[in-house]
């Protein structure tokens, strides 16, 4: 128990040390630089699409950057609800436990604002309108109706992903044509997500220790169901990106070209948000500490998404 208490304290201390101001990272009048790619190809798998010219690949990369910001803002919606609920259940717990959760919630509201600002800047500065999936609040309500442990596990999965995305982005950032602003956003987001993932784990461990085998089974089914639903949304976003690309490059793709683009983008989305989480070493090892069965259930999902 004392170990967990000091872990909450350590999360608060890290959060205080690493905190950043939204206006410093992304002022509301920030302009976007469309002379650069926004995301490294390691994350979006666009460079090998043969039917696109180099300029069209860059345009798709930028559309993917906007969609990326939108999707993270989209999931922040339920994560804010989850964290506020965890914090209100922890009012009578130790000060450090409560502070860790409250800082977590406040940071997620700031992240949602960061991604909204990014999307607003993109919509203002990009040459043509772009489409993104909607109804984040309705999706959040469905997710928050699932078991608390299942939802915490999904959140830990997503938060650990942000580290991988940043590391891959920095690793690829030897390319002079990669937008430094987007890399900074990935870095700043991850710096705070690192504490969130630690807090998710503490909260999940406590719930798992009290859970019956049936409750643990429900949590793992909820985790799998939410991933499957998210995968469906990612498929819709890949289709929308294609429509946005057609508008931006002013050409209608043939069936073969559509098949090539979606054939690359559909699995790229799946890998980026689902496969990379399921196979993240930190996630798999934390799931093993929650229970051997939970870790086995994660491993069973891998062939569906990787
Ligand atoms: Fe976040
Ligand atoms: Fe987070």
In tens, the pLDDT along 77-129 reads: 999 999 999 999 999 988 999 999 999 999 999 999 999 999 999 999 999 99
How many Å lie between the centroid of ligand 2 and the Cα of residue 62?
24
How many Å lie between the centroid of ligand 1 and the Cα of residue 212?
30
- What local confidence, expressed as pLDDT, does residue 177 receive? 77
Residues in the chain: 306
- What local confidence, expressed as pLDDT, does residue 94 receive? 84
- What local confidence, expressed as pLDDT, does residue 174 receive? 66
Residue whose pair of structure tokens reads 């950032």 in the numeric block: 173
Rounded CA separation 104/15 (Å): 9
Rounded CA separation 24/18 (Å): 13
Annotate 46-70 with b (16+ C-beta within 10 A) or e (fewer).
Answer: beebeebeeebbbbbbbbbbbbbbb
Which one of the ligands is nearest to 73 CA? 1
232 burial class (0-12, 13-18, 19+ CB within 10 angstroms)?
Answer: exposed
61 with 46: CB under 8 angstroms?
A: yes
How many Å lie between the centroid of ligand 1 and the Cα of residue 49?
31
How many Å lie between the centroid of ligand 1 and the Cα of residue 161?
11
222 burial class (0-12, 13-18, 19+ CB within 10 angstroms)?
Answer: buried
Q: CB neighbours of 292 closer than 8 A, spacing ≥ 6?
A: none
User: What is the pTM (predicted TM-score) of this model?
Assistant: 0.96
- Please report the sign of the dihedral spanned by the C-alpha atoms of residue 188, residue 189, residue 193, residue 194: negative
Which one of the ligands is nearest to 159 CA? 2
Q: Which pLDDT tens digits describe the chain residue by residue (306 residues)? A: 569 999 999 999 999 999 999 999 999 999 999 999 999 998 999 999 999 999 999 999 999 999 999 999 999 999 999 999 999 999 998 899 999 999 999 999 999 999 999 999 999 999 999 999 998 889 999 999 999 999 999 999 999 999 889 887 776 566 667 898 998 999 999 999 999 999 999 999 999 999 999 999 999 999 999 999 999 999 999 999 999 999 999 999 999 999 999 999 999 999 999 999 999 999 999 999 999 999 999 999 999 998
Rounded CA separation 220/224 (Å): 6
Annotate 146-183 with b (16+ C-beta within 10 A) or e (fewer).
Answer: bbbbbbbbbbbbbbbbbbbbbebbeebeeeeebbebbb
How many Å lie between the centroid of ligand 2 and the Cα of residue 193?
4
Which one of the ligands is nearest to 83 CA? 2
- What local confidence, expressed as pLDDT, does residue 223 receive? 98
How many Å lie between the centroid of ligand 2 and the Cα of residue 49?
33
- What local confidence, expressed as pLDDT, does residue 178 receive? 86
Write out the two tokens for 129: 């309108």
Rounded CA separation 302/70 (Å): 25
CA dihedral 56, 62, 68, 71 (to 10 degrees): -80
Phi, psi of 178 (to 5 degrees): -95, 130
How many Å lie between the centroid of ligand 1 and the Cα of residue 111?
5
In angstroms, what CA-CA distances link 226 with 95, 159, 205, 269, 277?
Answer: 32, 15, 20, 16, 13
- What local confidence, expressed as pLDDT, does residue 175 receive? 66
How many Å lie between the centroid of ligand 2 and the Cα of residue 213?
28
């Amino acid at each position: 128990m004392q170990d967990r208490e000091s872990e909450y304290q350590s999360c608060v201390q890290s959060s205080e040390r690493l905190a950043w101001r939204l206006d410093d990272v992304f002022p509301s009048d920030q302009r976007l630089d469309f002379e650069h790619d926004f995301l490294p190809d390691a994350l979006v798998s666009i460079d090998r699409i043969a039917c696109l010219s180099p300029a069209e690949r860059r345009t798709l990369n930028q559309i993917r950057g906007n969609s990326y910001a939108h999707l993270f803002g989209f999931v922040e919606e339920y994560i804010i609800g989850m964290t506020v609920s965890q914090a209100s259940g922890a009012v009578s717990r130790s000060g450090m436990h409560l502070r860790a959760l409250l800082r977590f919630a406040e940071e997620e509201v700031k992240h949602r604002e960061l991604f909204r600002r990014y999307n607003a800047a993109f919509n203002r500065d990009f040459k043509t309108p772009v489409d993104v999936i909607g109804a984040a609040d309705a999706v959040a309500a469905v997710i928050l109706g699932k078991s608390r442990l299942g939802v915490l596990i999904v959140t830990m999965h997503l938060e650990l992903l942000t580290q991988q995305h940043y590391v891959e982005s920095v690793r690829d950032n030897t390319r002079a044509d990669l937008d430094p602003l987007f890399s900074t956003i990935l870095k700043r987001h991850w710096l705070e997500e690192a504490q969130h993932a630690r807090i998710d784990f503490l909260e999940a461990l406590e719930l798992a220790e009290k859970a019956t085998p049936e409750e643990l089974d429900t949590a793992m089914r909820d985790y799998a169901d939410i991933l499957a639903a998210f995968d469906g949304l990612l498929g819709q976003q890949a289709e929308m990106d294609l429509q946005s690309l057609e508008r931006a490059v002013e050409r209608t793709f043939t069936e073969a070209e559509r098949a090539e683009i979606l054939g690359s983008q559909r699995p790229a989305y799946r890998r980026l948000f689902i496969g990379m989480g399921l196979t993240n070493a930190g996630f798999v090892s934390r799931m093993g500490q929650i229970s051997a069965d939970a870790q086995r259930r994660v491993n069973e999902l891998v062939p569906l998404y990787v």
